[in-house]
Structures are given as structure tokens and as C-alpha cells.
Structure 1
């Protein structure tokens, strides 16, 4: 009788082990949603932001560069030092009301479900945004609460691009959309973190800004699925999985990984995950990043990688087959 009970317990243990393995497989499966093209009410007009430090000629050049992407009328607002102080200083920036602003932006509302798209436009044939990348703008906009928008950024002079981001926040707010300051602050800290990590790794083989931002966007999506009560431990697991999925787990240092985890904890605490559309917008962002960097993400799905995963699967299969044969032998 005791022998029989031991066999039953062992069989139950095997069932649980198989179930856990299947659950792990599903937990690491990433679904990318395509834009559904559904329509919704849009803003009356796009909003163009102009840095207050631009000369008259630079203002006109900036207007010409940004409005080349749209048709019809648009509104214009000026971004100055006070705008930087309002939106960027709560996250630790040290702008003053007399700070200069050169980088500028244009934001237009798009159909519901299309997500956030960002393009950095050359000014007179040159990209003058020296620090912030298009994907970093996208992730920051998502965290801040911006939804379904085309954002165009440019600068008449070489500059990091902070003025344009503050302009995006100001322009979005000017259309009647309410931005949560906690989310904007979290977005700015995210921007700083990702920018520093990108700068430290940009020359390393196997690394790209797209992979880093895709990992972060996918982590946000998973966090939104679990809800605002997600634990720091779960966030850590998600970060490890996404860095692995995007092929940079061995490039990102332990310190940088900790920075990403802390950044995502702040995003959780900002209330961003409470937004009903956050998960959908994150899904669109993942699709957007991967579409714009197909050559990079295609390399992550090489025959070599598939063979490696197949070998792991074969080894697991052999293990379970051997274990099952052992257990089956107990009943003979």
C-alpha cells in the first residue's frame, strides 16, 4: 500500500512539473498586435511647438521641416524655459526659466488603436537631435500618457532634444488632454535611464537602441497585464525575460538591469498601469519598434537560435520521456 501511494505521489509530481513547464512557456510568449485601423474623433488641428531660442530664420526653417509631414492648418505654441521647468524639473532636471530651447516638435492625433509613432526629421539634411532617439521618445510618450499620435521632432542646431519632448507634453495638454505629473516625471526618469544605458552600450556588437526599447515596451505590456499591484519580484523576472528575448541579456550589466527595474517600479507607482489603454498602446509600440528595425529583429530569429531552442526542447523531451518510463515501470 505504501509503495502504491509513493507511485501516485510521484505521478502527481510529474503532472505538476509538466504543467509548470507549459505555464513557463506561455509566460514568455510575446504577442504583437497589429493596428486595427479603427477611427475615432481627432484633434481639430495638429499642434506645432517652437523653441523660444530660435532665430527668425530658424523658426521658419523649423516650421517648413515639421509641416512638410502634414496637410492643412495647425496651431503653434512656444516652448521656453518655464515649459522645461514645469515638465522636466520634477524628475531631477535643473532647467531655469531662462534656459534656452531649440528643439521643436509637431504632434497630431491619429485613429484609435494606431499607437505612438515618432520620426526625427533632418534639418537642412542633418539630424541635430544628439541624445534622445525616436524609440526613447516613443517610450517616454507612452509612460506620460500620450496615446495614438504622430510626433515629429527636429532642431535647427545640435541639441539633446529635451525641449522637443517638453513641447510634446505641452502640446498634448493644450488639446485638452490631461497629463498626470507623476507619469510625466516617471517618463523623464525613463528617458534619462534609457539614454544613459544606450550611450554606454551603443558601440557593442549585438546591441541596438531598438532592442533596449523593445524590451522595455514589452515589459510595460506584461506589467499592464498583471496590473498595478505587480510586485518588484515579478518586474525583475519580466526584465530578465525581455532582455533575454531581445538578445541583450549578456550585454546589459547588472547595474544597468537594476536601473531598468527601478525605472519600471517608478512607472508602476506613477499610476500609468491604471490606464485602460496602456497595454494596447504598449502593444502598438512593440509592433512599431520591430517594424522600423526589421533587420535587427530578424537576426534574433536566426536558424542558429532556432536550433539552440530546439536542442533545449529535445533535451527536455528526453528527460520527461525517461522520467515517465521510470514511473511507468513502478506499476509493472
Structure 2
């Protein structure tokens, strides 16, 4: 009986140790996300259950105003909301909720983005059928802590992954910002970049370089086509991130080197691009190479994004799946370690 009781006690000790280790892992994993959330506005649950910040820090003004004059633009350093000009009043209320704001209490003054502004930015790089004929996508941008990188969350955006926006924004020179993109129904999201630029420039109090903004728009167009061709927005974004990292390490000097690098990364990620898309991507890389961009700074912004669990509860992100996969692997390793301690 004494031996059986001792074994039972050891099993309980084993279970307690594993649970303690699992709890420690969960807390360590969630800490970056909680820290990022606390540095932004306080979180609240918007429509559809997505976590987004509440209206703290929102610009002052009259809610629901159809237009915002330049004199009434929010002060730099504050959260800025840009709404699509063609939203109905009911859709405006819904979009505000999706952006984490309570329409009944928010007293901010949104800026307005027209379809003409969208076309002017991305019209040369995105097929007309994707652009549509109305300005629907809306955004909220707020400054983040220095060194925190770019964080993007989306709702009802079907063609452009959050990582794609982050890539294009880093190319355009955006730094340390929290970005929310939403629509009242599913849209491609290809035109939302214009709204993000507009909001960021007001929030940061400075204009982005026009050439780099154009490169960011071109990037979005190319990445969407890559995502369509390989069937994975996440891999399309990963592909371009790796490409930029390699450009920062060893800038290609010829088109042949660029094409060789593209093929090498295709093999590394297990994807295959068409010849036409490969050539289009090579042209983009040439323009990025010749733009005089500090790629070390760009990749640093993107690296900070990867280091944060910044969309832990997003329904359109693989982070949850990755988290539980890593958690399971870690638990198995902990179990093996505990068993070895007890000689089992």
C-alpha cells in the first residue's frame, strides 16, 4: 500500500508540474500581445467579436459629420479614423464598431476618403474589377510605442492579408503604428492603402515620400497577384519579407541576380510563380533596389511585427493555430523532461 500511495503522490506531483509549466508558457506567450494592447487604446469587443481598441485617444470633433475640413483634422499623435465616402449612415455606424469605436459615445471627427483618391494611388496596379466603383474600406490608425513596429488587423477584407499591408506600409516609410482596416461587408481591401496613408500622415504629423507611397501601392498589387496564384496570402507576404531581408543583406546588382534570388526563395517556400509574375516581381525589386530605401530599417519594422503576438484573437490569422501547435510541442517536451526526473 505504501508503494502504491507513493506512486500516486508522484503522479500528482507530475501533473502539478506540467500544469505549472503550461501556465508559465501561456503567460510568456501572451505577454507581448497584452503589452501591445495596453500601449494602444483600451481594448473592447467590436461587432463580430473581434478585439479592437476602444475610443480612448480618439480625435475630438462631431461624430457622423459627412466630411472633415483640413482645419478640423485631428492633431498629430492621436488616433485618426478615415471612412469611405460611399458608406451609408448605417454602414458608417457598423464600420465604427468594427474599428473598435462605440458610435453612441465616440465624439471623433472622421476624415473622408473618396474613390477618386483610391484610384489615384492604386489604380495603375490593381485590376479595375477589384477596385470597384465606391470607396467602402475604412481605417483607424494610431501611433504606437517607438520601436514597436507596424501592427495591422482587418475585418471583412478578403484579398489583402494584414501582413501585406504591413509590408507595403514599411516600404512607404510608416513606422510604429497600429492599423485597423474594416468594411461593413466583404471587400478586396486593395484600395484601403490610400486611407491608411491618409490617416497615418495626419496621425504622425508628416507626409510620406510620394515615390515610396507609390512603391507600397505597387507592392500591394504584386502581392495580391502572388497570393492568388499560389493560394496563400500569408506565403505571399512571407515571400516578400524574405526578399527584402535578402536585399538588405546582399543587394542584387543585376536582373539576373534578382531572378535567381526569386527562384531560390520559391524553392525555399515550396511555391512556383508563373514566368510573367516572376518578371513583374523582378521589375518591382529593381524599383525597390533603386529607391534608396534603408532596408535594414524596413526589415527591422517587419521583424518587430513578427516578434509580437499582435493578432492573437483574429479570425483571419494563423496565429492561434501556430500558438497551439507550439504549445503542444512544448508540453510534450515538458512531459518527457518530468518523466526523466522520476525515472519513468
Q: TM-score, normalised by structure 1?
A: 0.62
Asked whether the 8 Å contact 2:95–2:184 carries over to 1, the reply is yes
The answer (yes or no) to whether the contact 2:81–2:110 under 8 Å persists in 1 is yes
Identify the residue that residue 268 of structure 1 maps to in structure 2. Answer: 289
User: Does the 8 A contact of 2:165 with 2:193 survive in 1?
Assistant: yes
**Matched-pair contact (CA < 8 Å) for 2:79–2:140:** yes
Aligned partners of 1:221 and 1:283 also within 8 Å: no
What residue number does 1:15 align with? none
Matched residue, 1:48: 81
1:55-76 deviation digits (Å, cap 9, x = unpaired) = 111111111210349x997552
Structure 1 regions of 5+ residues with no counterpart?
A: 1-33, 122-126, 203-207, 300-332
Deviations 1:200-240 (A, max 9, x none): 221xxxxx32122112112112213346x854444334333
User: Per the alignment, in what secondary structure is the counterpart of residue 162 of structure 1?
Assistant: coil
Deviation at 1:49, TM superposition (A): 0.8
Matching of residue 67 in structure 1 with residue 100 in structure 2: yes
| Residue 264 of structure 2: aligned partner | 241
Residue 155 to residue 181, structure 1, CA distance change in 2 (3 Å): same
Cα displacement (A) at 1:253: 3.1
From 173, 186, 196, the counterpart of 1:168: 196
2:277 to 227, 232, 256: 256
Deviation for aligned residue 1:286: 4.9
The 2-side partners of 1:109 and 1:236 are apart by 37
- Please say if 1:278 is aligned against 2:298: yes
- Partner secondary structure for residue 101 of structure 1: coil
In the TM superposition, 1:94-113 aligns within 5 A as 99-113=133-147
Give the TM-score normalised by the residue count of structure 2. 0.60
Answer with 184-193 or 72-81: which moved more: 72-81
Cα pair 1:217 1:286 within 8 Å, conserved? no
Structure 1 position 131 matched with structure 2 position 152: no
Task: Give the alignment of 1:87-98 within 5 angstroms.
Answer: 87-89=121-123
Find the aligned partners of 1:146 and 1:196 in 2 and give their Cα distance.
23
Instruction: Provide the secondary structure at the position in 1 that maps to 2:208.
Output: coil
Give the deviation of 1:116 after TM superposition.
Answer: 1.4
| CA deviations over 1:223-265 (Å, ceiling 9, x no partner) | 13346x85444433433333333232xx333333332222222
8 Å contact 1:87–1:185 — kept in the other structure? yes
- Preserved contact between residue 135 and residue 289 of structure 1 (Cα < 8 Å): no
How big is the shift at 1:85?
Answer: 4.2
Aligned-pair CA distance for 1:91 = 5.1
Provide closer, same or farther for how the CA distance between residues 267 and 101 of structure 1 changes in structure 2, counting only shifts above 3 A: same
Aligned to 2:247: 223
SS at match of 2:266: helix
Which runs of no fewer than 5 residues in structure 2 stay unpaired?
1-31, 40-74, 326-344
C-alpha deviation, 1:168, in angstroms: 0.2
Residue 118 of structure 1 aligns to a residue whose secondary structure is: strand
What SS is found at the alignment partner of 2:290? helix
**1:12-65 Cα distance to aligned partner (Å, 9 max, x none):** xxxxxxxxxxxxxxxxxxxxxx9998x9xx953111110010111111111121
Alignment match of 1:196 (pick from 220, 225, 236): 225
Root-mean-square deviation (Å): 3.7
Equivalent pair of 1:211/1:247 in contact (CA under 8 Å): no
User: 3-state SS of the aligned residue for 1:155?
Assistant: strand
